[in-house]
Chain A
C-alpha cells in the first residue's frame, strides 16, 4: 500500500490532465480525419491534411507565419536583450521603476493593446500616417496587403509582449556571479567585452529558451490579426484555425491545422533542446 500511495495520490492530477489535455488532444486527432458540421460526420482520412498543403489561402497563412518568424524572432531577441542590458546597467532604484514599466503592458489584454494600435495605424486619422504626412509621404493603407500588414504587426508584437522576457533576462543577468564580472574588470575588460564574452554566454540557455518561446508565441499570434487584419494575406496559422473552426464551421480542417501546428512546435522544441548546448 505504501508503495502504491504516491501513484494513487497522483491519480487526481492525472485524471485532470487526461480530461483537460489528453482527451481533447485525442478528440482533436480524431476530428482531423473527419468532415463534420456537428450534425453529420464523414471520415475523410487525410483529405483535411491534403487540403492544408493544397489550398492557396492556407498555404498563404504558412508563408505569413514564416514571414512573422523571420521578422519577429531576431528583432524581438535583439530588442529584449538590448533592453535587459540597458536596465541591468542602471542603479537598483531606477532598475525597479524600469522593470515595472517594461512589464506593465503584460498586464493589459492583447485585444485592448491591439485596439490602441488600430488607432495609431488608422489610415486616415492615425498617428503614424500623420507623422509620415509631415515628411510629405502619402498615407499608407496599412492593413491592405501582406507587405504593409506584416511589418506593423511584427512591430506591435515585439513592443507589446517583450516585458516578460526582459524581466527573465534581468533575472538571468542578476544570477551571474558578481565575482566573475569583477575579475574581468580587474583584468581590464571593457563593458562591451564583459557583455559579449561573459554575460551573453552565461545567459545563453535562457536566450535559447526565450528564442523558442518567442518562436512559439509568433506561431500563435492571434489577437493582432483578429483586431487589425483578419485577412488571408496577413493571417497566421493560429488565426486560420479559429477562422476555419469557428467562423466557417469546419472543425475537421481546423483540427488538422492544429495538428500541423503542434508538429511544428514539437520540432522547434527538439531543436531548442539541441540549441541549449550551443554557446555564444
Chain B
C-alpha cells in the first residue's frame, strides 16, 4: 500500500508543473513599469473598481522580450503591459490588444500617433523623453555652439577638439555593435533630413535617398578622421555611454536625464575624478534643412483584450490612471521627458531637458516606425550596415540601399 501511495505521489510531482496559471477574473495583472508613483493611481482605481492588482517584473536587462513571450506562450498574458515603445509597440495587434475608447483631447497633438495600428488606438503613452547634443564644456574649454549650428560647424569643432585631445578622448562618439540605444545615432539621419518612413506610411522604407547617402558619408568620415573611437564598429551602446559618462566625449548625442545617474556612477566606479561640466544644444543640421528633430523612446501601456466587458472597462480606466496626469507630472518634474497629456502643466525644471523640449516643439520627434510589429527586428539593421560601412566593405551609397532593402524585406516578411 505504502509503495502504491509513494508511486502516485511521485507521479503527481511532474503534474505540479501545471499548477497555478490563469488570471483570476477579479485580478488585473501589470507586467513591467513597477513604480512607487503607481500606488496613488492604483489606490484611486481600487476605490472605484473591485479588482486586485498584481505586478509581474519584466527583465529588460538585455533588451529581450522573454518575459512577455513566456507569458504569452503559457496563455497567461498580463492585462496591462508597460514597456519601452520599441518593445511594447509589437503588441499593438488587434489579435492581442484592447482597443481603447478615450477622450483624445486629453492628449497633445500627435502624442497618440505611435499608439495606433490601422487607425485604432491600442495604447497610451507616458511622458516622452528625447535627446540632444551634450557638450562636455570641460573638454571644449567652455565653448558651446549656438542652437542653429550646422554639420560644417560640427566638423570644424571636431577638428579643434581632436587637435587638443589627449589619447583616449574623442571629439564625438559612435557605436555599432548592437541595436539597443539606436536612437542615439539614428538622430544623425534626422540631422540630414532623412525620412526613414514618409508621412506615416510604414509599408516601405524611404531611407535610400541622397540625404541618407550624405548621412552615411558623414558617419564614415567621423570614423576615418578619428573624431570618434576607431573601435566604434565593435562598441555597444553601453560602451558608448560609459565613454561619455567618463568624460571622454566632447560632443555626444545623449538624453539629458541620463547625466544624473550615469556620471555619478562613473565617479563611483573610479572612472572619473569629478563630474564634468555640460551644456545641451540641438543636433547640428545639414544646411538643406532648418533643424534636426529629436529621437524619443518613451514607454507605452498596452491592455490585453478580453471578452469580459466589465474587465475591459476596468483595464482601460487603469491604463488612463497609470499614464495619467499624476504620473506624468511626477515624470516631468523629475526631469524624465515631456508630457503627452494636455493637463500636465509646468515646464520640466531642468534647463537641459528644456532644450529637448524646444527641439521637439520646433522640429518634432523622428519617426523610426516604433509602433510596428517589425520595428524590433528592423532596428537591428542599422548597426549591421554601419559595421560594414565603418570597415570600408561598402560605400555610403551601398549602405543606404542595403539599409532600405533590408528593412523592406523585414516589413514584407512581417505581412
Interface, chain A (partner B; CB < 8 A): 8-9, 11-12, 15-16, 19-20, 37-40, 123-124, 141-145, 229-232, 246-249, 251
Q: Interface with A: B91-99, B135-143, B195-203, B330-338, which one?
A: B91-99
B85 to chain A, nearest CB (A): 16
In the complex, per-residue mask of B84-118: 1 if CB is within 8 Å of any chain A CB, else 0 = 00000011010110000000000000000000000
Q: Which of these, B65, B230, B233, B391, contacts A249 with CB under 8 Å?
A: B65
- Please state if B96 and A12 are interface contacts (CB–CB under 8 Å): no
- Among residues of A, the one whose C-beta sits closest to the C-beta of B91 is A39
- Please state if B95 and A248 are interface contacts (CB–CB under 8 Å): no
A-B contacts besides A37-B93, A124-B229, 19 pairs, CB < 8 Å:
A8-B7, A12-B10, A12-B11, A19-B14, A19-B17, A38-B68, A39-B93, A39-B95, A39-B96, A123-B231, A124-B168, A144-B231, A144-B391, A145-B391, A230-B177, A231-B177, A248-B376, A248-B380, A249-B377
A222 to chain B, nearest CB (A): 13
CA distance A12 to B91 in the complex (A): 40
- Among residues of A, the one whose C-beta sits closest to the C-beta of B70 is A38
CA distance A111 to B72 in the complex (A): 29
Task: Report A-chain residues with C-beta under 8 Å of the C-beta of B156.
Answer: none
Task: Report B-chain residues with C-beta under 8 Å of the C-beta of A232.
Answer: 384
A22 to chain B, nearest CB (A): 12
Does B178 reach chain A (CB closer than 8 Å)? yes
CA distance A233 to B362 in the complex (A): 42
Task: Report A-chain residues with C-beta under 8 Å of the C-beta of B65.
Answer: 246, 249
Q: Which of these, B7, B69, B95, B387, contacts A231 with CB under 8 Å?
A: B387
CA distance A231 to B66 in the complex (A): 20
- Among residues of B, the one whose C-beta sits closest to the C-beta of A122 is B231
Does B64 reach chain A (CB closer than 8 Å)? yes
Q: Which of these, B14, B63, B72, B387, contacts A38 with CB under 8 Å?
A: B72
- Among residues of B, the one whose C-beta sits closest to the C-beta of A143 is B234
Task: Report B-chain residues with C-beta under 8 Å of the C-beta of A9.
Answer: 7
Q: Which of these, A8, A15, A247, contacts B64 with CB under 8 Å?
A: A247
B87 to chain A, nearest CB (A): 10
Interface, chain B (partner A; CB < 8 A): 7, 10-11, 13-14, 17, 63-66, 68-69, 72-73, 90-91, 93, 95-96, 168, 177-178, 229-231, 233-234, 373, 376-377, 380, 384, 387, 391
- Among residues of A, the one whose C-beta sits closest to the C-beta of B410 is A248
Task: Report A-chain residues with C-beta under 8 Å of the C-beta of B63.
Answer: 247
Q: Which of these, A15, A37, A39, A40, contacts B11 with CB under 8 Å?
A: A15
Q: Which of these, B64, B90, B231, contacts A246 with CB under 8 Å?
A: B64
Interface centre among A9, A38, A230 (most CB of B within 10 A): A38
- Please state if A12 and B13 are interface contacts (CB–CB under 8 Å): yes
Task: Report A-chain residues with C-beta under 8 Å of the C-beta of B95.
Answer: 39-40
- Please state if B73 and A15 are interface contacts (CB–CB under 8 Å): no
Task: Report B-chain residues with C-beta under 8 Å of the C-beta of A16.
Answer: 13-14
- Among residues of B, the one whose C-beta sits closest to the C-beta of A41 is B95
CA distance A16 to B10 in the complex (A): 10
- Please state if B14 and A124 are interface contacts (CB–CB under 8 Å): no
Q: Which of these, A144, A230, A248, contacts B178 with CB under 8 Å?
A: A230
- Please state if B73 and A246 are interface contacts (CB–CB under 8 Å): no
CA distance A231 to B385 in the complex (A): 12
B114 to chain A, nearest CB (A): 19
Pull 21 A–B residue pairs with CB atoms less than 8 Å apart, ordered by A. Answer: A8-B7, A9-B7, A11-B7, A12-B7, A12-B10, A38-B69, A38-B72, A39-B95, A39-B96, A40-B93, A123-B231, A142-B234, A229-B234, A230-B177, A231-B177, A246-B66, A246-B69, A247-B63, A247-B64, A249-B65, A251-B69
Q: Which 7 A-B pairs have the closest CB atoms?
A: A38-B72, A12-B10, A39-B96, A143-B234, A123-B231, A19-B14, A40-B95
Task: Report A-chain residues with C-beta under 8 Å of the C-beta of B91.
Answer: 39
- Among residues of B, the one whose C-beta sits closest to the C-beta of A13 is B10
CA distance A145 to B390 in the complex (A): 12
Task: Report A-chain residues with C-beta under 8 Å of the C-beta of B178.
Answer: 230
B335 to chain A, nearest CB (A): 31
